Structure formats: structure tokens, C-alpha cells
Amino acid sequence: MKYFFFLAFALSCMYTLSAQAPTTRQLQDNAKTLLQQGDFDNAVKALQRARQQDPNSLEVLKDLSYANFLKRDFATAIELGKIIVERPDADQQAYQVLGLAYKAIASYKEAGKLYRAALKKFPNSGVIYNEYGEMSAMDKELDEAIVQWEKGIEMDPGYSSNYYNAAMYYASTGNWIRAMLYGETFLNLESFTTRSAEFKPRLYEIYKNILAPGAINALQNARATSGFEKEVLGSLLKAAGESRVDGSVESLGKLRTQFVRDWSQEKQKRFPYRLFDHQEYLLKDGLFEAYNYWLFSPAVNADAFRTWQNTHAKETEGFKKFQESRVFKIPVGQYYFRS
């Protein structure tokens, strides 16, 4: 009788312990919380336990590799990353994490091989093109970097980082037309991040440079300027001739209004372009002025938008609702940037 009582008690304890043991999912969630808190050592331990429970889980392996990367144990992150990318179910993120570890130790040759292999598997991946471009830039191969960012824009036009990096590159090289187009597109794809807030003053400077005397003509005659860009520059030159630009948000808004009207009348059918469709919609809906203040007022005057909002309550509310409800999507096939 005592034996059966002891056996029942032991089984009950085992059941209780089993019921209390965290699941793989719980261990992963706990690890993510620890990573956010900067406790990388305990995050790694939690994920090692998760791996013991489910050694074939791709998500656990990716999380463990990334946790080791954050812990700066790059050797372990690379070791795990190599295992992951050999799997047939390895996704883009798996290649991205391994690439981060290679970049951290300046192993650019291995990173390049990795990204080329990834693009064979995921030829339309904006993430991988962007990572490849950033790695090339770190290796001081800027000509290669911009090739990758451009290809990312062409193949995956909804991924914002390629626009950001390309706009920064073109601003640094004086290609103001492409910096202008890619920069504003980036701000519509990624509207409320620290990076976008920091970029708005740069877009204003890009406009000042492109509207400087002789700049548009020089860009029209540049060898690298595509037919589409020449058409954009033509409409911009026409708008500049009809609007006096003094650097204020109001004057830039008038110039951009003239541009949108000219483009929609003459060139929209030949070159459908999502950014210009977006501008035209805002103009027709009475929201274009609010949009221009949102874009440029941080550079001109940090209080200008708030001042404008106080006297334009209807437009302010309309633009707010529009931004909250809209999704800025760019269709594939609107890439016109070959010379």
C-alpha cells in the first residue's frame, strides 16, 4: 500500500513540474524581453534551453544566433548562422543575421558571398539588396553599394531602407534629382521614425540645391540622368519659372503645386509614378499644403507647422486622418532610372 502511495505521489510531482516547465514559445518570448533589457547572457541561456526542447526550430536558431550577435559573441553567431543558411527552409532573415555577424568582424568577402547566395534564392529581396549595399559601403566600395540599393528599389519598391541609403548617397554626390525623388519616397514609406525625422531637413537642403541657379540645366545635361528624370526636371524648371521661391514652406508649396499640375496634364500617362500620384491626390483633396508643412517645416521653422495648424483646423484634421489610414504602396514596374 505504501509503495502505491509513493508511486502516485512521485507521478503527481512529475506532472506538476512538467506543467510548470516553460514552453519553447515562452522561453523565446522571455529571451526577447531580456534582449530588450540588454541582458544578453540570460537571453542566450533561455534560447539554449529552447533549442534543447526543439532542436529543429528555425525560429529558435535564428533568435539564438541574433542573441549571440548582440552579445558580441560573433564566432558563435556565425557558427549558428552557417548551420541555418544550409537549411532548405532558411529565410531572408537568416541570411540577414549571419551577414550582420560577418560585417561586425569586417569579413566583407564572406559577407559578399553570403549575399550573392541569398539573392539567388531571393532575387526580389529588398532586405538583402540593402544589406549587400551597406556592406559594400562599409568596405568603401560605394560604386557597388549604389548598384545594390538601386536594384533593391527596382525589385522590391516597398522596402524603405534602399531609398534612404540611395538618397543619402546621391545627396553626397550632388545628384539632386535622384536624391529628391528617393528622399521624399522614403519619407512616405517610413513616416514616423527617428531616421525620417532626421532626413526631413536634408530633403529641404536637397530642394535648395536643385533650385540653385543653373542646377536643373546641369542635371538635364548630365550623362547619368535618365529620360524620366529629364522630364521631371523639365516640369520642375517650368514650375520654378512660374513661382518665386524664397526658401519658405509657402513658396516651396506653390512651386510643387505648379509641378504637380504640369506633370498630371502632360506626363503622367507616359510615366506613371506613385509619388506624383500621391501628390496629385493630396492636392485635389485639399491636403497638399499640410503635407508640405509636414515635410519642410522642421528645417525651416520647428514651430511653423504648429502655427499653421492653429489656423487651418479642417486641413490639419484631414491630413491627420489621412496619414493614420493610408498605406503608401509602390507597384513594381515604375522604375525609370536607367540612363
For residue 18, pLDDT beyond 70: no
Q: Confirm if 152 and 126 have CB atoms less than 8 A apart.
A: yes
What is the pLDDT, as a whole number, of residue 339? 64
Which of 183, 189, 231 is CA-nearest to residue 209? 183
Q: How many CA atoms lie within 13 A of 40 on its CB side?
A: 10
In this prediction the pTM is: 0.90
Looking at residue 13, its pLDDT comes to 45
DSSP 209-226: HHTSTTHHHHHHT-TT--
Please report the pLDDT score of residue 16 as a whole number: 42
Mean pLDDT of the chain: 93
Per residue in 264-290, pLDDT (tens digit) is 998 999 999 999 999 999 999 999 999
Residue 4 has what pLDDT?
A: 43
How confident is residue 20, by pLDDT bands cut at 50, 70 and 90?
low
pLDDT per position as a tens digit, 98-111: 999 999 999 999 99
Average of per-residue pLDDT across 9-17: 45
Residues of 129-149 as b/e, b for ≥16 C-beta within 10 angstroms?
Answer: bbbbbbbbbebebeebbbebb
Q: What is the pLDDT of residues 28-75, one digit of tens each?
A: 999 999 999 999 999 999 999 999 999 999 999 999 999 999 999 999
Q: Give the whole-number percent of the chain exceeding pLDDT 70.
A: 94
